[in-house]
Amino acid sequence: MTVVFVSGASGFIAQELVKQLLQKGYTVIGSVRSPSKGDSLKSNLLKLNLPSDRFNYEIVPDISSPGAFDDALKKHPEISVFIHTASPFHFKAKDIEKELLIPAINGTKNALIAIQKYAPQVKRVVVTSSVVAVGKYGKYASPGDKFTEQSWNPIDFETSKKNTVYGYFGSKTFAEQAVWMFVEKENPGFSVSTVNPGMVLGPQAFPIRGRDKLNTSSEEINRLLKLKPDSKIVNVESTFVDVRDVAKAHIAAFEKDEAQGKRLLLIAESYNTQGLLNIVNKNFPELELPKGDPAKGDALKTAPDTWNTDVTKKILGFDYIGLEESVRDSVSQIIDGKIAQSRL
């Protein structure tokens, strides 16, 4: 039986990943920051009648502490796949270097060093990177930019410290660069794949307890539901992929030989805030959200060739959930507390 380690198991993406791993028959050891987070995940799995006996957790309070993963790996020589999802994803850091850059970079290095030292039986490693390690944003972006799995965000360390958005983008870029540098320098006994998703939307793996504040990417939708009919719309443009597909891609990344050494760039569609609002207004008119300027919602669909992800699509071989379905599932879960089903 394959035992998979998932760092940051209590996160939005990781919870869906843990769920899908268990559904596929894997045994999972997750790292969480506190016993209460581990217990809550275990009890959520039990409530959905998932095989919670195949889920256990280890406490890793801070991935950036030297040797953070050493004890967990020493204790579990049965682990053969390591998936590193843990990384800070928020824009509220006061000290950008300390709260975003260092945990992302050192957390990733700590994971790789621990696997090399204490888990020689691990042959496959998957690291959750991001589209923001691939594209050009802010002062680096130009009209007509095109990106593929080969592209890199050119951001530098100093610019990353200028604001929290650049800080997050830098954190993902430098953490992923650390991965490929490690592979080149150390030639470890494991192969690595990275998963580079766009903005991850879609339902939470488990019923939502409080909708005041969800994880950063789910807030993209949750914050719209709090708008008043006369609120002004702040337009954000982004790329999107559903969380169920992101989890599925992490699993494919270690199951498929052709994913070894690859960056899997996951983008289902591009969107803007008006486009999200149009979908919510069409499907949930009873919420009486502002209409904005509906015609502007399709703006990004006119430039569909910015992102070429053909290499990834060929490796994964499955169709992605579309934006409308993803938004609909997210909103119904937030307003009705319905449990979303993973699509395997």
Q: Which of 175, 66, 177, 48 is nearest to 117 (CA)?
A: 66
Least CB distance to ligand NDP at residue 208 (A): 13
| Amino acid at site 102 | I
Separation CA 69–CA 249 (nearest Å) = 24
Question: Per rule CB under 6 A, is residue 263 in the interface with ligand NDP?
Answer: no
Least CB distance to ligand NDP at residue 177 (A): 14
Helix (H, G, I), strand (E, B) or coil at 191: strand
Helix extents (H) in 128-272: 157-160, 164-186, 219-222, 243-255
* CB atoms near residue 189 (< 10 Å): 12
Helix (H, G, I), strand (E, B) or coil at 47: helix
Contacting residue, 4, 5, 6, 12, with ligand NDP by CB under 6 A: 12
Least CB distance to ligand NDP at residue 84 (A): 8
Is 104 or 227 the residue whose CB approaches ligand NDP more closely?
A: 104
Separation CA 6–CA 294 (nearest Å) = 41
Cα dist. 266→125, 162, 311, 320 in Å?
A: 18, 27, 10, 9
Least CB distance to ligand NDP at residue 15 (A): 8
Instruction: State which of positions 165-194 bind ligand NDP (CB under 6 A).
Output: 172
Question: Per rule CB under 6 A, is residue 10 in the interface with ligand NDP?
Answer: yes
Is 67 or 120 the residue whose CB approaches ligand NDP more closely?
A: 67
Least CB distance to ligand NDP at residue 103 (A): 4
Question: Per rule CB under 6 A, is residue 313 in the interface with ligand NDP?
Answer: no
Q: How many residues does the chain have?
A: 344
Instruction: State which of positions 73-112 bind ligand NDP (CB under 6 A).
Output: 85-89, 103
Contacting residue, 160, 217, 239, 281, with ligand NDP by CB under 6 A: 217
Is 111 or 280 the residue whose CB approaches ligand NDP more closely?
A: 111
Q: Quick check: 7 and 86 in contact, CB under 8 A?
A: yes
Q: Which residues bind ligand NDP (CB under 6 A)?
A: 8, 10-14, 33, 37, 60, 62-64, 85-89, 103, 128, 130, 172, 197, 199-200, 215, 217
